[in-house]
Structure 1
Amino acid sequence: MSFPEQPTLLAVFAHPDDEAFGVGGTLTHYARRGGRVVLACATRGEAGKITVPGMTVDDLGHQREGELREACRALEIPDPVFLDYHDSGRYERTRHNDPLALMNVSPLDVEVKLRALIEEVRPQVIVTFDPHGAYGHIDHLQMHRATTAAFFSTGHLPGGGPQRLYYTALTHEAAEGISRMGENLDPLVYGVSEGTVAVRMDVRAYAANKKAALAAHGTQTGETSVLGRMSPEERQMMETRLLGVENFSIGGTRTALPTFPLRGLFDGLEGFETLDG
């Protein structure tokens, strides 16, 4: 296996809409710069909460799959790859007895699927959840663990395997903002220090793409959602802090870092020196 000449970014997340918040602008950025972007989604969000009053959906997984495809078009990336697990849900919607719910699946089994995908896609860069799964969702934690394991267990592949693993990174300030919106996060636990951020992507140019991607997830962004209940001031804060910049920390690397912080996700990777110039 040799790496494709085209820079390839593999983004691995758990549910439809995970891609729109922390990495959407980055995905659009690299797609526009000629990169190949592959989005892997573990589930179809079957156990999500419909946030549009009066809305009924016969098959929520099918509905959210369509929403994710629409979001991908908004982000200018190809259709997602589904790993075909089930959404574990949260609170009263938790699917304790579903053997395919991600919370009930061995991370080693998920790793096997991801290893096969990595061998097929041959990415230089992988992006996934941080060690706290953003806000502690069990499915996010499962994908963090499995993706991290797959990165480290594919270094034997011809070409050396993926060269960099990045985690989405909430700064303390961003974690405080999310906490105020209802997730009740301890910023000193769920956030990271500024010195931990390895890459700060200025994605203001793709704000329209991110907003369109969020809007595509209509069942999750209705009037009773966190977004729908925001005051004008909170929405302005979100658009400034969460839509304008996307932060990443280093999860693993097989190459030396040319500088810190890095200019972008491909900075220092041989053959792609101009991608983050």
Structure 2
Amino acid sequence: MQASLLAVFAHPDDEALRCGGTLARYAAQGAAVTLICLTRGEAGKNTDPELLVTDLAAQREQELRDSCAQLGVAPPIFLGYHDSCRGERLRRDDPLATINADPLEIEARILEVIALVRPQVMLTFDPHGIYGHPDHLVAHRAATAAFTSAGIHGHAVHRLFYVVQTGEEMRRLQSGQALGVLSGLAPQTYAVCEATVAARIDVRAHAGQKRAALRSHRTQTGPLSTLGNLSDAQIGPLLEQETFSLGGLRGPLSRYPVEDLFEGLDVTFHQEQLCRT
């Protein structure tokens, strides 16, 4: 069976910083890599004053398509929910906001994609959503639920991994030109200890692709953004290694932590790449 990986995230750019290198690595090896994005990020902000944006949802959709092209993965699948935003701008009154959607409906739609692409490995947010964004938490819960129920629907997924940050990684991103979304958050809550890391993926060969994917998100990495102004000391380690915790298993792991998300699975990697246009 061809190696297949399914990633489930909430907004355009969620795929790039934490697991862009991993997505690029497996696409380059010949795995079928599929990305589900719950929203088009319409509640975000444009941080590049030179970029004239009249429709932020359309802009961010195209940015994610460009990012996927840079990573070498298939065009994203958008589920069409609305960005809920967070904090004082939380869109409680938007009936299409992700936080107001029926969680079983989201799960069912993810299951439809699982039936189509038959992944052995799934990726999504950790239980704290990296920094607690409400849509990240919805994505985590829906993807975890879909992994859990996929077996009874006849499409058992072997492994579920969560993108995580260690305490050291989080404190590094909070230093200097701090990554704004992490400001004021306690690593004791939003990071994990070293023993929780179930997979360490070497992505050095794909650092250039990961940088290009991040730059594709122009509205989020402009001169007014913190993401686009991280120092080399802050972002450098994330261009070398990406870390994951374990969300679920059907079958054993050959070791802990693994250095390959597919390690020990009976899969093949097809070097003929899917059409990425």
Please give the TM-score of this superposition, normalised by the length of structure 1.
0.91
- Find the aligned partners of 2:61 and 2:117 in 1 and give their Cα distance: 21
| Counterpart mapping for 1:1-277 below 5 A | 5-53=1-49, 55-158=51-154, 161-180=156-175, 181=178, 182=180, 183=182, 184-230=184-230, 235-271=231-267
Report the AA paired with residue 39 of structure 2. T
- Distance in 2 (alpha carbons) for counterparts of 1:54 and 1:262: 43
Deviation string 1:24-74 (CA, Å, 9 cap, x unpaired) is 000110011110000111100111111113644211100111111111111
**Structure 1 equivalent of residue 273 of structure 2:** none
Structure 1, gaps ≥5 residues long: none
Query: CA offset at residue 271 of structure 1?
Result: 3.6
Q: Is the 8 A contact 2:162 2:246 kept in 1?
A: yes
8 A contact 1:178–1:185 mirrored in 2: no
SS at the partner of 1:57? coil
What is the CA–CA distance in structure 2 between the aligned matches of 1:272 and 1:189, rounded to whole Å?
Answer: 38
Preserved contact between residue 2 and residue 267 of structure 2 (Cα < 8 Å): no
State, as a whole percentage, how many aligned pairs show the same letter: 51
- Which string of whole-angstrom CA distances, capped at 9 and with x for unpartnered residues, describes residues 232-273 of structure 1? xxx112232222210011100001111111121111223459
DSSP-derived class of the 1:248 partner: strand
**Paired amino acid for 1:66:** Q
Runs of 4 or more above 6 Å deviation = none
Match of 2:274 in 1: none
Is the 2:202–2:259 Cα contact (8 Å) retained in structure 1?
A: no
Determine helix, strand or coil for the equivalent of 1:88. coil
Query: How many residues matched?
Result: 265
For 1:53, what is the secondary structure of its paired residue? coil
